[in-house]
Amino acid sequence: MLQYAAPLLVLFLASAITSFITTAAVKRIAEEAGAIDHPNERKMHVEATPRMGGLAIIFGFGFPLMLLAANPHAAELVSKNLSYLFAVLASGSLIVGLGVYDDLLGSDAPKKFLVQTAAAIILVSFGFHFSSVSIGVYTIQLGIFGWVVSVVWIVGVINAVNFIDGIDSLATLVAITIAVAFSVIAWIRVDVFSIVIMTALAGSLIGFYRWNRPPAKIFMGDSGSLFIGLLLAACSIARPIKSPTALIVGGPMLALALPVLDTLIVMKQRFGAESGLGARVMRMFNADRRHFHHVLVEKYGSINKAILSIWIITLLFAISAVLTVIEETKLAGYAFGIAGFAGMVFLRYWFRRGGLHAPVERQA
């Protein structure tokens, strides 16, 4: 793996610089195209802000990867993972198209899920899927049901990242932390494919962060959050070799715990309200202010404090993810995961600083 250190460093820096420079151009294009996010009762910003920043993230991710292809080690990587790379390219194209369409014209939930499911099926068809469930020393073979579980997981992660993109820089910081954790896990597993993908993603997100930090000058929009979710979902399943993948509660799954758990909690709350079954199902996908970041902003009365709290919990889950892939530190890893879960539950349900109706420190 040491032979990849220098190319990876170059890739990281190139991705960050490319994303930072490209964001300025995307911001002007979004303003001219009318891709503007206007304030309303559900959103935290008070000024109209351009979106579509995800295009800069995507360009910062992809362009340096094309340049890296000239490296002999990278060429070897491509030859060994051609099907994986094609799957990411094909499914990513669908997701980017959906994101841009949504940022410009808006898209309803059924259309989004249809495209997301198609993208997930492409990934699963090319090897990104679970074949079994591992519970302690027991392993249950999933058979064809493993494909269904994998599609649900991929679509779920895509939406979890999309849903957490609710306040300035939150999705960016959370995704950076998860991408770094995935990179470390890939290094431990000698998974060169995942470490290259996650290094490029982390660099691109760091370059974008300068524009997205509070008060944000541009939002990533669905073009960014959906694409990021797709890459994280894919690399949470990918393995160094195309061997059967077990569904294990640990490793990459723990790194994604905060956005996934938050999504499940919110969907359960939406479904639980009284009404007909059809209306309850549809309400699960309606936007509201039930997400973790909304709850913390109301309790703290401060967007920055909410972001810091969520990032700390994400960091605990990220450390847990890394430690659980090493046999000697697996117990410590689960301890960090329990700490992250306990912190999330405490802040969401019991923490009362400022009260639920505390004035919110708005971002100008």
Which of 69-73, 178-182, 262-266, 281-285 reaches the highest mean pLDDT? 178-182
Does residue 294 fall inside a structural domain?
Answer: no
DSSP E strand boundaries for the chain: 36-37, 49-50, 130-135, 138-141, 245-247
Does residue 21 fall inside a structural domain?
Answer: yes
Q: Which residue has the higher pLDDT, 136 or 34?
A: 34
Does residue 345 fall inside a structural domain?
Answer: no
Say if strands 138-141 and 130-135 run parallel, antiparallel, or are unpaired: antiparallel
> How far is Cα 10 from Cα 50, in angstroms, rounded to an integer?
30
Does residue 182 fall inside a structural domain?
Answer: yes
For 297-306, what is the mean pLDDT?
A: 87
> How far is Cα 102 from Cα 158, in angstroms, rounded to an integer?
15
How many domains are there within the chain?
Answer: 1
Does residue 362 fall inside a structural domain?
Answer: no
H-helix or E-strand spanning residue 120:
helix 109-125
Does residue 106 fall inside a structural domain?
Answer: yes
Does residue 278 fall inside a structural domain?
Answer: no
Q: pLDDT (tens digit, 9 = 90+) per residue, 186-229?
A: 898 888 888 889 999 999 999 999 999 988 899 999 999 999 99
The residue range of the domain holding 226 is: 2-249
Query: Tell me, what's the pLDDT at 307?
Result: 93
Does residue 319 fall inside a structural domain?
Answer: no
Q: Which of 322, 53, 2 is nearest to 177 (CA)?
A: 322
* Model pTM score: 0.87
Structure tokens of 349? 């349900």
Q: Which of 314, 238, 315, 229 is nearest to 54 (CA)?
A: 229
Euclidean distance between the first and the last CA atom of the chain, given in angstroms as a whole number: 46
Query: Tell me, what's the pLDDT at 360?
Result: 45
